[in-house]
């Protein structure tokens, strides 16, 4: 897989060592994340909306109601910026100035197109569910005709993207390493608790394995 | 504290029962979050950048290098949208269509102004650290003159904001409740692991309590 080209929009300028342009790094972040933040412009005003997504090959799919504001404007193909951020830890330095966070983020520039072919629409909806809860699709009632009509699926081709990654301990000024101040990292991760069955669940239905043992593992790219 | 007025930009239209406009709900979300996503427009192109922040009273502070792209454009007072999203759980319905997520998000519209008074700048930097790790500031070397010069602090007044919140079990179609499919919620939360000391940490410095027992508790508003 070819790397993404650095462009004036995606090039990480201030801390270039944090920039990554290879598809492996970028796809791993996209595949681990659950929500993205999509930025778009209406009458000069920026909007930033959180929403679910999935990457399939070199496309990102999102979905929503055809009457939602975001779907309505994005389906016109306007420019968007899609950002996924995974927070990995807090970085505690000896100086206030060098406090930081460890994170992995991806920024995608492009535009959305409406997905029309029924097979691609259905595959995208299946992927959207499977991205969040692998193994779930086979158990659920699939979308019926009315639901398919009430769902807009949009695709964003991955043509211009970059990742920004910070890992590791704090980087203090040389003179500060002797200070009697604890420094290091507090790792953070998104953890699943015990599944809560729907109060209206019929008797005799056990919690499936994918819900009992839910974890956010990176898929292979 | 007065509620925020619903505006055409902040009114939650499609699922109005998820919309909240009271400062208590909005401030609790802002106070629990660690990063926001800021959307802004340069030459018609939207950008969405993750960054740290803190709320103090009815202002949000962000900071960064004066040479960063985001700081450079935001300090001109252009329109921005600042979004904070907390993911609370995955909602597994009996139908694919009604799968959802439980979340709390806040969207703020406004613009940034440069913070000039040294006391407000210093207080903002202290708040930025204390928002992330309460108790930390007293232990660290405070910013020196060079670092203060290398830090831009911006304030965004909270004048136009709304929250969107989904809680609870799935809402399936009446006809689907009899299906033999497990339904419910997988709760998610951001959890801290054991602190990792900086490999260059001097001997005899123990891990402080605020790092050992780190948890993301909502502050009082």
A205 touches chain B (CB under 8 A): yes
CB atoms within 10 A of CB B153: 24
How confident is residue A221, by pLDDT bands cut at 50, 70 and 90? Answer: very low
B203 touches chain A (CB under 8 A): no
B2 within some domain: no
Which has the closest alpha carbon to A150: A67, A69, A71, A49? A67
**Strand, coil or helix: what is B183?**
coil
Contact B207, A182 (CB under 8 A): yes
Q: How many domains, in total, are found in chain A?
A: 1
A199 touches chain B (CB under 8 A): yes
A46 touches chain B (CB under 8 A): yes
A&B contacts, CB < 8 Å: 287
Q: Write the pLDDT tens digit of every residue in B185-204.
A: 999 999 999 999 999 999 99
Nearest residue, CB atoms, B50 vs list A41, A83, A142? A83
A2 within some domain: no
Mean pLDDT of chain B: 95
| Residues of chain B neighbouring A129 (CB-CB closer than 8 A) | 96, 99
Please state, in angstroms and rounded to a whole number, the distance separating the CA atoms of residues A47 and B39.
6
Are the Cβ atoms of B97 and A151 closer than 8 angstroms?
yes
Strand A184-192 relative to strand A160-166, pairing: unpaired
Mean pLDDT of chain A: 95
What would the mean pLDDT of B7-29 be, rounded to a whole number?
A: 91
Which has the closest alpha carbon to B110: B87, B80, B138? B80
3-state secondary structure B27-82: HHHHHHCCEEEEEEEECCEEEEEEEECEEECCEEEEEECCCCHHHHHHCCCCEEEE
* Alpha-carbon dihedral angle through residues B111, B43, A165, A22, given to the nearest 10 degrees: 160
B144 within some domain: yes
B103 within some domain: yes
How confident is residue A12, by pLDDT bands cut at 50, 70 and 90? Answer: confident
Please state, in angstroms and rounded to a whole number, the distance separating the CA atoms of residues A26 and A108.
10
B10 within some domain: no
B150 within some domain: yes
Which has the closest alpha carbon to B204: A186, A178, A89? A178
Q: What CATH number did the domain enclosing A141 receive? A: 2.30.110.10
Which has the closest alpha carbon to A59: A136, A153, A198? A153
A190 within some domain: yes
CA distance A172 to chain B (A): 10
Structural domain containing residue B171: 16-212
A33 within some domain: yes
Q: Write the pLDDT tens digit of every residue in B95-140.
A: 999 999 999 999 999 999 999 999 999 999 999 999 999 999 999 9
User: What pLDDT, on a 0 to 100 scale, did the predictor assign at position A220?
Assistant: 43
List, as ranges, residues 119-158 from A with C-beta within 8 Å of B. 125-126, 129, 132-133, 136-137, 139-144, 147, 150-151
Q: What are phi and psi of B166, to 5 degrees?
A: -120, 130
Strand A160-166 relative to strand A19-20, pairing: antiparallel
């Amino acid at each position: 897989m070819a790397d993404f080209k650095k462009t004036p929009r995606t090039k990480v300028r201030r801390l270039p060592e944090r920039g990554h342009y290879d598809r492996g790094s970028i796809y791993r972040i996209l595949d681990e994340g659950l929500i993205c933040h999509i930025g778009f412009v209406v009458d000069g005003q920026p909007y930033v909306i959180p929403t679910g997504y999935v990457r399939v090959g070199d496309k990102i799919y999102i979905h929503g109601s055809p009457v939602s504001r975001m779907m309505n404007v994005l389906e016109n193909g306007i420019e968007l910026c899609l950002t996924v951020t995974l927070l990995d830890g807090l970085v505690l330095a000896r100086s206030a100035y060098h406090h930081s966070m460890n994170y992995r983020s991806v920024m995608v520039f492009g535009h959305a197109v409406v997905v029309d072919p029924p097979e691609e629409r259905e595959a995208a909806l299946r992927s959207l569910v499977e991205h969040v809860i692998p193994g779930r699709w086979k158990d659920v009632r699939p979308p019926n005709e009315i639901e398919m009509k009430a769902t807009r699926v949009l695709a964003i081709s991955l043509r211009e993207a970059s990742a920004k990654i910070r890992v590791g301990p704090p980087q203090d000024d040389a003179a500060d390493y002797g200070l009697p101040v604890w420094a290091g990292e507090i790792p953070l991760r998104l953890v699943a608790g015990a599944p809560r069955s729907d109060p209206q669940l019929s008797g005799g239905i056990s919690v499936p394995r994918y819900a009992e043992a839910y974890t956010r593992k990176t898929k292979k790219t």
